[in-house]
Each structure stands twice: as structure tokens, then as C-alpha cells.
Chain A
């Protein structure tokens, strides 16, 4: 897998807020085109990590590169190459679907003609042609989230960061959302996704599990289940959370 090329590399990544350590010495690699799951309970430090990788927050220490650029010095170069969908819903309620897309694509520097063509295609794919001139506020949450995701990858980034993208929606919509994620990964965009739904972890190529600011496990879902002698990812997570720390070999190697 290593020969696929590393797009995100984190070594000894630390983020402290005063005395509180939100990210305690994180080490991981993310490979090109994979779906990398970043799992953990609420408050485990997932959002902090993702914000650092997106250049929204400066790390306290550590050597971290995203798309080949250093997060300490080259955040603006990183931003050209990534897309981000935050936990908070960030499309403008009072703008229409089209106006939102035009605005965000616009500040990425895309030309209006290109935005138009691409929007038409996107509306067709999402089956939202009728909603193009409707205000975001009037759309159901599931659609909003699909749109937010589409906006995050509209400018064809190398990596897209999704911070709990499926919070608060029904299982069917979640399933559809994951179909979109698969499609995106197939098109060559690396997907870095945080979630606390353990069933979603099964859909990832590899997952890391964070507990109290540390990464306690990192591997493919299948190997994790095997190593922890668990039937589901949920069991893996519960074992880890209870402190049954049987550190899998693969992660120990990376850490040493």
C-alpha cells in the first residue's frame, strides 16, 4: 500500500490548549485515493486534528505534511489542494443552491463559465435540478449535507476532509452519502473522514481510533477486528475505550 504515495503524513503531532492536550503525539500516514476513517468518541480530539490538517489551527509541535506541504509554513498551498466539510453546516441559508456553489467555487478562483457547466452536471447527478434556485434553508438536511459535500469537492481537491458529515441524518441518507464518498475516492480524491458511527468505520479502507487525544489503533477494519477478536468495529471500539489496549503490530511499527 505504501507505494501508492503518501498524501498526509503526521509525525509526533501535538496540540495543546493551555494544560489540556487535545492531540497527544499522533503518528499516521494517509495514502492517495484511500478512505481514511478517523474514529473516536466525542471530545477525543478528532476535530482538533482535522482542523490542523486543514490549516485552520496551528499545531503545537510535530512534523506534519498535507499534499506535500508543511502545515507550519505552507498552509495556503495546502488550502489550494484540499476540500473541507465541517461539522457545522456551512452553506448560506439565505442563498440558493446555485448562489452557494457560485460563491464557494468563485473564491477558489474558478471561472464563472466553468462553474456553470459543472453545476449543471452536479445538479443532474444529485437529481436536484428542480432545487437549483431554491434557498438552502428550504431544503431537507440530507440534501444540504450532500450539497455541502459536493461544494467541498467542487474545485477538484486532492484530499477532502469530512468532519462528522453524517451527523443527524437517517440511515438511508447516510448510506447514500457513503455512496458519494466511494465515488469520490474512486475518482482519485483521498477522503479523510471523522465519525463516531462505528458501522461507518466498516466502509473505510483504514481506520484510526482515537481515545483521549491518542491514536490507540490504526489498521484496516478487517485486521482490527481480528487483532481485537471482535465481531464488529463497535466491539473493537468498546474494547479500546475500556482500556484493553492490545496495540496492534502495524501501529506499533509506525510509532517506533
Chain B
């Protein structure tokens, strides 16, 4: 036990004495947080649109003005030429082409049915999906208007018996920032903790100081705990720091209890740092450990559910994702911060992370060799 305290003391002295490390640990993540939370948003702010109106009727104009009146749509050009509309898509000046064919109004009156076409630039699939959703909404709205105008009210009620109303729970205004912040904060805290602990051991290997430690009767698990705790404590501070920044800068709500949040964070960090420590025991220099950590980080982050929902991944990917600690913690963080969940709501994540931590730390202790 005393041994661990001596290691802890030494690590803290070394971290706080390093004049380049301190700002890296405490200011870089906050700057990243500010940039990323503001930048990483899925909201559509502006949709550049080209209108190809081949009907030129009062009904088609009504539809167009419906788009023009919607908040994000900017009608760049109106044209009669299909070629020109297509070109606009090709040279990226338009996100969306609305094509209203000739006889649109006539068909609508005669057949009660008419077609319009949406051409969406799907280079960015997420944006394309949003444009589609928004546009479909506008068109169905237009449908309703047409019905109301052309039929009497009673009949309309028969045609549209269901009035769906939406309510988004836990994030009523669908504010992306408060949804993204927990995820981004988690990534930053993880990166700092993982790199600090992993690089630390490998650095001792490079300097040769690890030999001097290996030649002492130090117990292997004391060594690993001694290397884990300082960086875990730093990462926890980092998390607190980030939460305060989120609160002050983005009005980030934390519905759940801070105690639950920090307890879960502690367990999660055991896993994340344990992972880093394990990688450092199988690497010989800083380059190797950087590359392996980057490999896992990239996969873990992209599959974590921060950007795309885990549920929509193919089944094999969801199975692979069992070893992704980010996946568990991102859910946990969002549940606590947005929903106010307690331990009982997150039993599955709690148990999974605990078992994971136990396994990965045992692996790290086992793989750390005092005798090679």
C-alpha cells in the first residue's frame, strides 16, 4: 500500500513539474470542447435550392412559396431548364432541386393526384436525409392546405383522421449541443487519461527507469495501480472541469445526480485507462503505443454512438462493439445528464463496465513483465 503512495507522489510531481504538459492537460481539452460542441452539429442551417418549375401555375407558385417561407430554404435560382438544374447539383451550388413537372396543376385538379420530384445532393448522407425529411414535411403541409382549400372542412377531417403530435422527451428542443457535449467531453477525458497512462509506462521503458523499478521487489499489481490512479484522478478532475465549462458556456443541464455521474465515470475510466496500460505493456516505444491507441480510439469513437446510433449498425458491428467501452459510457453519460437516470436504470452498463475493468486490468497486470 505504501509503495503505491510513493509511486503516486512521484507521478504527480513529474506531471505538475512538466511545464508543457500542464496546459496540454487542462486547457487543450477545454478549447477542443468549445470548438467541437459548436461545430459538430447535425442541424441544417441553410439549404440552397434550385426550383425547376415547368408548370408555372398558381398552384406550383404556392408550393414554391411554401418552401421559400420555410426557415432554412434559400431559393438560389428558378429555371425552366432541367439541364441547368442538374448542373447546379453537379457543381455543388445547390443542395436540392425541386422539380415541378408540366401539367402539375391540371393533374391535381383532374386526378386529385400529382407528382413533384426532389433531387437531393447526397454527398453528405446525413444532410441529405435531413433535407429529405424537412422537404417532405413541407410538401405534406402543402397537401393539407390544398385539401382544406378544395374540399370542405368536414371532408378533410374524414381524410385526415389522425393528427400526430410530437414531443421530444429529455431534450425537448432537440438541442444538438447538449446532446453532443457529453459525448465530446467523454472523448477528451478518455484521450487525456489513456495517453497519459500509456505513454508514461512506455516512457519509463525508453528511459530505462523501468529496469530500476523491475529490479525492486515491487508487486506487479502495485505498480499497475500506481500508474493507474494518478491519471485516473487527473481525468476525473478534467471531467469536472469540462462539466463546469459546459454549464457556464452551453447551459448544459445535468438532470441526474453528480454522485452517480462521477461513480460511473470512475468505473469507466478504470476500463479506459486499463486499456491504455495494457497497450503500453505490449509496446516498446512511444511510437508503437501511439499508433495502437489511435487505431482503437478511432474505431471506438466512430462506433460509440456519438455520431450515428449504435442500434442502426449492422448486427456483426454491434457484436464487435461489446468491447467498445465508449459505447457503454456515452449512453450512461447521456442518460444521467439528460434523463436523470440512477444506478438501477443503468444496471446493464454498470455491470458490463465493471466486468470489463476487471478483465482489462488483470490483463495489464498479467502482461506487465518484470522478467523478460
Which residues of A are interface residues toward B (Cβ below 8 A)?
A: 54-58, 75-77, 79-80, 82-84, 86, 88-92, 94-95, 99, 102-104, 106-109, 111
Contact = CB atoms under 8 A, between A and B. Distances in A.
Given A103-B7, A103-B10, 5 more contacts: A75-B371, A86-B211, A88-B208, A92-B209, A99-B13
B227 to A, nearest CB: 12
21 contacts: A55-B215, A55-B370, A56-B211, A56-B215, A56-B371, A75-B370, A77-B217, A79-B215, A79-B216, A89-B208, A91-B209, A94-B14, A94-B18, A99-B10, A99-B13, A103-B9, A106-B5, A106-B6, A107-B216, A109-B3, A111-B2
**Highest count of chain A CB atoms <10 Å: which of B3, B5, B7, B209:** B209
Contact of A95 (B5, B10, B208): B10
Nearest to A78: B217
Q: Is the interface of B mostly helix, strand, loop or mixed?
A: helix
Interface residues of B, number: 25
Given A57-B372, A75-B371, A80 B217 contact: yes
Contacts of B39: none
Given A75-B370, A107-B6, A109-B3, A54 B13 contact: no
A55 B371 contact: yes
A90 B207 contact: yes
B218 interface: yes
B214 interface: yes
A230 B128 CA distance: 90
A106 B370 contact: no
Contacts of A58: 371-372
A32 B61 CA distance: 104
B319 interface: no
B215 A82 contact: yes
Nearest to A77: B217
B173 interface: no
Interface in B198-256: 207-209, 211-218
Contacts of B3: 106-107, 109
A103 B6 contact: yes
